[in-house]
Amino acid sequence: MSPSGLHVLLNGSSPHPATRGKLVAWYVAAQKEGVSRPDVSKADVDAALRLLVQYVRQDARSAVQAKRLREIVQRLEAECVPASDEQT
Q: Where are the domains of the chain?
A: 1-37, 38-88
Tell me the mean pLDDT in the region 53-73: 92
Report pLDDT for 23. Answer: 79
Of the two residues 32 and 87, the one the predictor is more confident about is: 32
- Candidates 57, 51, 54, 56; CA nearest to 24 is 51
Q: For residue range 26-60, what is the model confidence (pLDDT) as tens digits?
A: 777 777 766 565 677 788 888 888 888 988 999 99
Whole-model pTM: value is: 0.52
Residue 88, pLDDT > 60, answer: no
